[in-house]
Amino acid sequence: MPPFNSGYSTGVSYTPIPITPSDTVDISTPCRVVDVLGGGNVSLINGRGELVELAGLPAGYVIRSVTNRINATGTTATGFIGYP
């Protein structure tokens, strides 16, 4: 059986991007994975431009969703590292 090939990249970039929460400025490159180093709540804008609020994330949580922005308002978690 040949290996599965979806035609899309299935890996994650190994170039980390530090993310500073902002209510107006998007991440320079949308990220498919975001590490949350310090636990808390996260308010983000996903790849569809929708507001998503995640409550009570533990330190070390990994957000596996296309993320365009981490909002400052509504975010109490800290230390965001994104991977395009």
Asked whether residue 10 is domain-assigned, the answer is no
Asked whether residue 36 is domain-assigned, the answer is yes
In this prediction the pTM is 0.82
pLDDT tens digits, 40-71:
999 999 999 999 999 999 999 999 999 999 99
Mean pLDDT of the chain, nearest integer: 89
Provide the residue range defining the domain that includes 31.
Answer: 17-83
Asked whether residue 2 is domain-assigned, the answer is no
Tell me the percentage of the chain whose pLDDT exceeds 70.
85
Give the burial class of 19: count Cβ atoms within 10 A of its Cβ; 0-12 exposed, 13-18 middle, 19 or more buried.
buried
DSSP state at residue 46: E
Domain total in the chain: 1
Asked whether residue 34 is domain-assigned, the answer is yes
| Residue 14, pLDDT score | 73
